Amino acid sequence: MAKERLYLFDTTLRDGAQTNGVDFTLADKLAIARMLDELGIDYVEGGYPGANPIDTELFSKPRPMRARLTAFGMTRRPGRSAANDPGLVALLAAQAPAICFVAKSWDYHVRVALETTENENLASIRDSVRAAKAKGREVLLDCEHFFDGYKAKPAYALACAKAAYDEGARWAVLCDTNGGTLPHEVERIVGEVCAKIPGDHVGIHAHNDTEQAVANSFAAVRAGARQIQGTLNGLGERCGNANLVSIIPTLKLKAEYADRFDIGVSDEALSHLVRVSHALDELLNRAADRHAPYVGESAFATKAGIHASAIVKEPKTYEHVAPERVGNKRKLLVSDQSGRSNVLAELERVGLAVDKDDPRVARLLDEVKEREAIGYAYEAADASFELLARRLLGKVPHYFDVEKFDVNVEQRNNAKGERVTVSQAVVKIKVGAEELISVAEGIGPVNALDLALRKDLGKYQSFITGLELTDYRVRILNGGTGAVTRVLIESADETGDRWTTVGVSANIIDASFQALMDSIVYKLVKSGAPA
């Protein structure tokens, strides 16, 4: 049986840009658009030309891509003609093959927010769609507050969507703007709409205010809608939009959808989903959500001993899909609760296969337990665990020694008479017979120490140029004899690999130093740096 085509519409650059603390530059927007295009998204909504200089510039010239770049804007204002509305004229001038209009579809909003009549609002929808069609654009209509509007006055909400469809809009998109609609309501209402407008012209735009935006999107598809709107990592104002990073693998890997629908995302593109999700976090300077479905670091992590031994024998026992399909990996967490099978499996995964009766396995397990008792957390620090294991098995070359370091924090007046705090670190290391001294200033003591440590590693410098710290987390643990500090550092390199290292000490600088050192040594091991 031929599969039906289901379309994906991304609004990371428009609705996602409404997120608190998110501020895309033009370069950011172009980079994200390229990423979405490579992923196989059908429509990339770039922004709102005329609303701000960046969006205006984005649409000032053609941006060739396979996906349809979409400009967003309002339908013509009440009481004006399409030609006499400067906002609409600017939108029609945007260099984009598709235009997505937003219009009210809740009678209450038409009266109160728009202060016009229901008929004038319908005329505005028809005129705007017609004007954009006349310019050769593909047209979408976002029916704002559609579900609330439908509950209040179904005939009117439907009339708004139908006006756009009848005028030739490719899509009427039903928006759950306040995000409060529940999946069974979405399914019922979309089903009723699809009896009047063919489902292959109906889209769903769900917000996540009850944490059901993904479920609502699927409910709409079950009821007949054939376009899903959402954002990368569920970015969006308040609680976010429907998360395409969760929706895409479900569409590709769950038989109910995979057997019925084709989407623009290939198997190959799907296998890069983790990278795409992390790239957005990186750009936003945010730590990745470890527990994100499909793409989180913990999405395929197993801790308890019996689960782990089963997973090694037959992964399907505890995994709903194969992690490689989305570019993720299976992980067996090593902690004081773990059995021998976790440790063996984790050693095998990192390429350190040893015999199960090797006495060093028991020693490693004891070592992990002892260190976790004083605050180390190996299940969160895979790279530190690997180094611990490699050291025990004698497989970490001796690269360099840190003879001493000195970190200094000073508060003083700068040349302008402003009070500033400056951190400086001096690190003295020995690489073979060579002694190297590096000095660096940083925005804090740990940053200064990191910069000084990585400034000059002599003959190893070329191996760490792509190394970068992506997250730094500190926790104060209350032990029996006083507080200890645990530092977790996440690093990434030029290949897109990420790893986490841990340090524990009563002194935060010392704990950070351990985690930084582990990260550097891990990178050297990983890059095959010679001893």
Residue 242 CB, nearest approach to Zn ion (Å):
9
User: 231 vs 501, which CB is nearer to Zn ion?
Assistant: 231
The strands making up 498-505's β-sheet, listed across from edge to edge, are 468-479, 482-492, 498-505
Q: Give the side-chain half-sphere CA count within 13 A for 130.
A: 13
In sequence order, what are the beta bridge partners of 71? 47, 99
Count Cβ atoms within 10 A of the Cβ of residue 110 and give its class: 0-12 exposed, 13-18 middle, 19 or more buried. Answer: buried
Question: From residue 383 to residue 422, what is the string marking binding to Zn ion with x (rule CB under 5 A)?
Answer: ----------------------------------------
Give the number of residues in contact with Zn ion, rule: CB under 5 A: 1
φ and ψ at residue 214, rounded to 5 degrees:
-70, -45
Let me know how long the chain is.
531
Applying the rule CB under 5 A, the residues between 424 and 453 that interact with Zn ion are none
User: 208 vs 309, which CB is nearer to Zn ion?
Assistant: 208
User: 15 vs 187, which CB is nearer to Zn ion?
Assistant: 15
Number of other CB atoms surrounding residue 269 within 10 Å: 18
User: 15 vs 127, which CB is nearer to Zn ion?
Assistant: 15
Beta strands at 227-230 and 7-10: parallel, antiparallel or unpaired: parallel
Residue 485 CB, nearest approach to Zn ion (Å):
42
Count Cβ atoms within 10 A of the Cβ of residue 146 and give its class: 0-12 exposed, 13-18 middle, 19 or more buried. Answer: buried
Q: Which residue has the tokens 């990178």?
A: 523
User: 239 vs 322, which CB is nearer to Zn ion?
Assistant: 239
Residue 45 CB, nearest approach to Zn ion (Å):
10
Provide the strand spans (E) within 159-290.
Answer: 171-176, 202-206, 227-230, 261-262
Residue 16 CB, nearest approach to Zn ion (Å):
9
Please name the amino acid found at residue 192.
E
Asked if 148 is part of the footprint of Zn ion (rule: CB under 5 A), the reply reads no
User: 17 vs 159, which CB is nearer to Zn ion?
Assistant: 17
User: 144 vs 346, which CB is nearer to Zn ion?
Assistant: 144
Residue 180 CB, nearest approach to Zn ion (Å):
13
Residue 205 CB, nearest approach to Zn ion (Å):
6
CA gap 530, 97 in Å, rounded: 54
User: 228 vs 511, which CB is nearer to Zn ion?
Assistant: 228
User: 212 vs 338, which CB is nearer to Zn ion?
Assistant: 212
- Residues 202 and 224 sit within 8 Å (Cβ to Cβ): yes
Residue 75 CB, nearest approach to Zn ion (Å):
16
What is the tally of helices (H) and strands (E) in the chain? Answer: 19, 18
Question: From residue 151 to residue 190, what is the string marking binding to Zn ion with x (rule CB under 5 A)?
Answer: ----------------------------------------
Applying the rule CB under 5 A, the residues between 7 and 46 that interact with Zn ion are 15
Number of other CB atoms surrounding residue 3 within 10 Å: 12
Residue 174 CB, nearest approach to Zn ion (Å):
11
User: 230 vs 264, which CB is nearer to Zn ion?
Assistant: 230
Mapping DSSP to helix (H, G, I), strand (E, B) and coil, where does residue 202 land? strand
Number of other CB atoms surrounding residue 238 within 10 Å: 13
Residue 143 CB, nearest approach to Zn ion (Å):
11
- Find the residue with minimal CB distance to Zn ion: 15
Residue among 515, 513, 508, 471 nearest 383 (CA): 515
Q: Give the side-chain half-sphere CA count within 13 A for 159.
A: 13
Residue 309 CB, nearest approach to Zn ion (Å):
46
Binding-site ranges for Zn ion (CB under 5 A): 15
